[in-house]
Amino acid sequence: MKCEVVAIGTELLLGQIVDTNSSFIGEQLAMAGIDSHHQTKVGDNHERMVAVLRHALARSDAVICCGGLGPTQDDITRAAIAEVMGVELVRDEAIAERIRAMFRGRGRSMPENNLLQADVPEGAQINPAMPGTAPGLICPLTGEHAGKVIYAVPGVPWEMRQMLAEGVLPDLQRRSGFSGVIRSRILRTWGQSESGLAEQLDDEIRRLDATGDATIAFLASGWEGLKVRITCKAASEPEADAALDHEEAVIRRIIGDIVFGVDADSMESVVLELLRTRGQTLAVAESLTGGLIGSRLTGVPGSSDVFRGGVTPYDRDLKRELLGCPDVPAVSEEMAIAMARGVCRVLGADSGIAVTGVAGPTQLEGNEPGDVWIAVQHAGRTDSRFLKMPFDRERIRQFTCIQSLDFLRTRILASG
Amino acid sequence: MKCEVVAIGTELLLGQIVDTNSSFIGEQLAMAGIDSHHQTKVGDNHERMVAVLRHALARSDAVICCGGLGPTQDDITRAAIAEVMGVELVRDEAIAERIRAMFRGRGRSMPENNLLQADVPEGAQINPAMPGTAPGLICPLTGEHAGKVIYAVPGVPWEMRQMLAEGVLPDLQRRSGFSGVIRSRILRTWGQSESGLAEQLDDEIRRLDATGDATIAFLASGWEGLKVRITCKAASEPEADAALDHEEAVIRRIIGDIVFGVDADSMESVVLELLRTRGQTLAVAESLTGGLIGSRLTGVPGSSDVFRGGVTPYDRDLKRELLGCPDVPAVSEEMAIAMARGVCRVLGADSGIAVTGVAGPTQLEGNEPGDVWIAVQHAGRTDSRFLKMPFDRERIRQFTCIQSLDFLRTRILASG
């Protein structure tokens, strides 16, 4: 059973709206165990829409059309589907009355063109869910495409999601006869390149290719690190979850503690949780990053019970005045260490992170852009590290942020 | 000249990454005056990728392939394009050496499979921009598709954007034979809704529809405000720029100082520049935002001559200990004002921004999530403002950041 997605709307092609609907539908199809090999975006143009639908039906068993079901002239999905089905649009009086009733219910007078939404292709069924004024359509095909189906859902996300869950996915699973489940899990990693990870996991990937126990995919996410996605198919949820647990353990044995989290974990949420379970607090001194680390930490709900605060002594003198740092070069190991100790002392925190460096584009006191000193204070000990990054300003700051959080993470784990 | 976009990656179909690249490319094509009628997503599968490329070439003159240029087994875009071109992959030694040099430059050892990125289809040209280790490709076709072209760019957004601007769009415009110039300018606005702006500009938009002097488009960008894009076509650059200057002046007369910047300006770069020209310095005290404002300010190159630094007294006591704030409620006008004055005094700055509030998800001292007090100190005067935002944690923090910077911006302008 193959189902593809066709997102309709010129505004999608112009990039005025990012097509998150197709991503959501694709994820739902995958979770439902339905193969989805193609997604297409096409504008509000009758001929092109018809051609795209015919091409999709030629290679897939089902097509989900998203958008173009509204009451305006450029909402032409109904007409395009009717042409592909080889039928006319007919006014569905029951739907027309539901639309009138919705407007009455909201105490609003109904512009006549809203009834265009009640004109559906002859032979189309109506999606049981109708949260808005646009009905969703289930359109079984005949002739050369007999046995195939086109679903039409609105582009309004909350309407689409309800129709997908209550009307489309159940119908698709009935048709596909697939009774199993598919589960995925993401391992978040930091500190290894995509090619390096692929080499480390090469044997395991070959083994899985042979056994089909699971599939592994890499998702490079820039300064968010590299994600390793494990996907398992099984007859039941418990079996799928057990297979995921097993495969996660295998992979962790191979790549070790570069895995910092799972699924929704972020580097900052993991660091906060490690300190929380140890009853410890955190403070940050950010010169280079100017508040980025604190901003990410405080983006995590409940961070206030671990994160005491931060100081950004961007001006040179403030490193001394606010944190009592000695008169050493602004970008130096001594300065980073003094900042880490200083911020823990001044803000009364158990652990501290300090960064100082050059974001560029120009040199600073003889240091190149990308030259960064990081220091972390934890369990009464201060460790420091030098980074040299051939990046632009934004990435130098972002990598420094994650790198410094990961530095503290590994120090916490090492200190038990 | 028709150009379509093919985004490659199974993770896109599975919805684990939202395909923002295609949206960006679509916008760039539209602004360059190149028609783009279709966008397709396909997974990391050789046969399907080849079929999608052939189908795209059958209906368009050019195809931009995004993704699948990395060094791992599932990066097979190069091979798929080679098959469509009917040629072999050949090792480009110059590229291979560039890749080796990049790893040397970062002081890292290079996993051998990185050199796979140097295997390009015979006859392909290399995109002049190569910000990462994956070269971009310009692949002219022969035979039935003679005169058509496939461009391959990486899925890493910053690499894709640079290659698009420096390699793809110029080549497309040469091929399209468009002799005139199209210039666009973005007016950055804050504080007005899209429908409100559309109403204010309704007459002008009608006038432009009639005269064709220019076109106006609105791009809602969430907490980055609302962008008004002016586009003018002309025979020469000077004429196009003159038309843009004229239209910008007309629009500014209508919508006034909600326009905070132009094109690459950001709210933070504008505030820094306003202070720089007045020879003044800035400090921030961030409770709610935890460093977000300082992080945005220091993201601007050269901010160090205006931005002295910041203090994040996330813990209640630190507001008193670090900034000498009185013992008033943490989320109150008095506290915000005391923080703004305190941070200017302690950090020795002329101007200051202070924010304190509740990001949620839970209440704090009887304040609802989204209750925020902002204070700005400028020209010896302190002003405060209360915000109530029915948003989630992330948007509360981001809107507070922009709102507080805009608050200072308008105060600076008002004080002359």
pLDDT in tens, B171-211: 998 898 876 777 788 899 998 877 788 889 999 999 998 99
A352: left (phi over 0), alpha (psi -120 to 50) or beta: beta
Which sign does the torsion angle of CA A263, A229, B160, B92 carry?
positive
Amino acid at B143: G
Token pair, residue B55, equals 């189908």
Question: Quick one: closest CA in B to A315, which residue?
Answer: B308
Distance CA B305, CA A115 (A): 62
Give the pLDDT of chain A (416 residues) as one tens digit per residue.
Answer: 899 999 999 889 988 788 999 999 998 888 777 889 999 999 999 999 999 999 999 999 999 999 999 887 778 999 999 999 999 999 999 999 999 998 888 777 888 888 999 999 999 999 999 988 899 999 999 999 999 999 999 998 889 999 998 999 989 988 887 667 777 898 999 998 888 999 999 999 999 989 988 888 787 777 889 888 898 888 888 999 999 999 999 999 999 989 999 988 999 999 999 999 999 999 999 999 999 999 999 999 999 999 999 999 999 899 999 999 999 999 999 999 999 999 999 999 999 999 999 998 889 889 999 999 999 999 999 999 999 998 889 999 999 999 999 999 999 999 98
A394 to chain B: which residues are within 8 Å by CB? 299
Domain final residue, candidates A198, A233, A262:
A262
Distance CA A369, CA A101 (A): 65
Sequence-distant (6+) residues with CB within 8 A of A318 are: B308, B309, B347
A304 to chain B: which residues are within 8 Å by CB? 314-315
A294 to chain B: which residues are within 8 Å by CB? 286, 290-291, 295, 312, 314
Interface with A, mutate which of B8, B11, B14, B115 (most A CBs under 10 A): B14
B45 to chain A: which residues are within 8 Å by CB? 37
Quick check: A76 and A10 in contact, CB under 8 A? no
Give residue A75's pLDDT: 86
Q: Do A196 and B111 touch (CB under 8 A)?
A: yes
Give residue B151's pLDDT: 98
B292 to chain A: which residues are within 8 Å by CB? 291, 295, 298
B48 to chain A: which residues are within 8 Å by CB? 37-38
Does pLDDT of B43 surpass 80?
yes
Which sign does the torsion angle of CA A408, A410, A414, A416 carry?
positive
- B151 and B243 in a common domain: no
Selecting from A12, A41, A310 the residue whose C-beta is nearest the C-beta of B312 gives A310
- Average the pLDDT over B37-65 and give the result: 97
Nearest Cα residue to B100 out of B87, B81, B121, B115: B115
Q: Which of A223-232, B117-126, B340-349 has the lowest mean pLDDT?
A: A223-232
- B67 and B160 in a common domain: yes
Q: Is B38 on the interface with A (CB under 8 A)?
A: yes
The CATH number of whichever domain residue B230 belongs to comes to: 3.30.70.2860
Token pair, residue A225, equals 């690190």
Amino acid at A224: E
Tell me the backbone φ, ψ of residue A104, rounded to 5 degrees: -60, -45
- A42 and A24 in a common domain: yes
Give residue A103's pLDDT: 85
pLDDT in tens, B234-251: 888 899 899 999 999 999
Chain A nearest CA to B246, separation (Å) = 25
A63, β-bridge pairs: A4, A150
Domain final residue, candidates B262, B279, B314:
B262
Selecting from A193, A289, A298 the residue whose C-beta is nearest the C-beta of B290 gives A298
Q: Is A143 on the interface with B (CB under 8 A)?
A: no
Band the pLDDT of B229: cuts 50, 70, 90: confident
Q: Is A8 on the interface with B (CB under 8 A)?
A: no
Element of type H or E holding A55: helix A46-59
Give residue A180's pLDDT: 73
Q: Do A39 and B12 touch (CB under 8 A)?
A: yes
Token pair, residue A397, equals 């700051």
B2, HSE (Cβ side, Cα atoms, 13 Å): 11
Q: Environment class of residue B51 by beta-carbon count within 10 Å: exposed (0-12), middle (13-18) or buried (19+)?
A: middle
Q: Edge-to-edge strands of the sheet including A181-189?
A: A215-220, A226-234, A181-189, A259-262
Interface with A, mutate which of B100, B115, B347, B392 (most A CBs under 10 A): B347
Nearest Cα residue to B288 out of A295, A284, A414, A79: A295
* Full residue range of the structural domain in which residue A202 is found: 181-262
- B148 and B172 in a common domain: yes
Which chain A residues in 303-332 lie under 8 Å from chain B, judged by CB atoms? Answer: 303-304, 307-315, 318, 322
Chain A nearest CA to B360, separation (Å) = 7
Q: How many residues does chain A have?
A: 416
Quick check: A309 and B312 in contact, CB under 8 A? yes
Q: Is A194 on the interface with B (CB under 8 A)?
A: yes
Q: First and final CA of chain B: distance in angstroms? A: 50
Question: Quick one: closest CA in A to B298, which residue?
Answer: A290
Number of separate domains in chain A: 3
Q: Is A178 on the interface with B (CB under 8 A)?
A: no
Selecting from A27, A55, A395 the residue whose C-beta is nearest the C-beta of B15 gives A27
Question: Quick one: closest CA in B to A7, which residue?
Answer: B39
- B206 and B272 in a common domain: no
Give residue A331's pLDDT: 96
A346 to chain B: which residues are within 8 Å by CB? 322
Q: Is A23 on the interface with B (CB under 8 A)?
A: yes
- B369 and B395 in a common domain: yes
Q: First and final CA of chain A: distance in angstroms? A: 50
The CATH number of whichever domain residue B11 belongs to comes to: 3.40.980.10
Q: Do B299 and A36 touch (CB under 8 A)?
A: no
A193 to chain B: which residues are within 8 Å by CB? 108, 111
Q: Is B23 on the interface with A (CB under 8 A)?
A: yes
Distance CA A222, CA B17 (A): 13
- A138 and A76 in a common domain: yes
Q: Is B58 on the interface with A (CB under 8 A)?
A: no
Selecting from B11, B37, B43 the residue whose C-beta is nearest the C-beta of A43 gives B37
Q: Do A295 and B298 touch (CB under 8 A)?
A: no
A18 to chain B: which residues are within 8 Å by CB? 18-20, 23
Pair type for strands A215-220 and A226-234: antiparallel
CA dist B17 to A23, A193, A221, B8, B69, Å?
7, 19, 9, 11, 17
Distance CA B310, CA B286 (A): 8
The CATH number of whichever domain residue B363 belongs to comes to: 3.90.950.20
B162 to chain A: which residues are within 8 Å by CB? none
Q: Three-state SS for A197?
A: helix
Q: Is A45 on the interface with B (CB under 8 A)?
A: yes
Distance CA A1, CA A147 (A): 11
A208 to chain B: which residues are within 8 Å by CB? none
- B106 and B45 in a common domain: yes
Quick check: B223 and B395 in contact, CB under 8 A? yes
Selecting from B11, B37, B42 the residue whose C-beta is nearest the C-beta of A48 gives B37
- A410 and A285 in a common domain: yes
Q: Do B40 and A38 touch (CB under 8 A)?
A: yes
Sequence-distant (6+) residues with CB within 8 A of A254 are: A200, A201, A204
Domain final residue, candidates A234, A262, A290:
A262
Report DSSP letters for B178-218, one per residue. Answer: --SEEEEEEEEE-S--HHHHHHHTHHHHHHHHHH-S-EEEE
- Average the pLDDT over B297-326 and give the result: 96
Q: Do A42 and B38 touch (CB under 8 A)?
A: yes
Band the pLDDT of B17: cuts 50, 70, 90: confident
B215 to chain A: which residues are within 8 Å by CB? none
Quick check: A341 and A383 in contact, CB under 8 A? no
Which sign does the torsion angle of CA A137, A142, A145, A146 carry?
positive
- B168 and B30 in a common domain: yes
Tell me the backbone φ, ψ of residue B151, rounded to 5 degrees: -105, 135
> Does pTM top 0.90 for this prediction?
no
Give residue B222's pLDDT: 76
B313 to chain A: which residues are within 8 Å by CB? 309
Chain B nearest CA to A97, separation (Å) = 30
Q: Do A312 and B291 touch (CB under 8 A)?
A: yes
Residue with tokens 């008033």: B328
Q: Is A291 on the interface with B (CB under 8 A)?
A: yes
Give residue A326's pLDDT: 96
B295 to chain A: which residues are within 8 Å by CB? 289-292, 294-295, 397
Q: Do A12 and B111 touch (CB under 8 A)?
A: no
Q: Is B40 on the interface with A (CB under 8 A)?
A: yes
A12 to chain B: which residues are within 8 Å by CB? 23, 26, 39
- B154 and B49 in a common domain: yes
- A94 and A222 in a common domain: no
Give residue B180's pLDDT: 72
Q: Do B73 and A318 touch (CB under 8 A)?
A: no
Distance CA A151, CA A145 (A): 14
A24 to chain B: which residues are within 8 Å by CB? 15
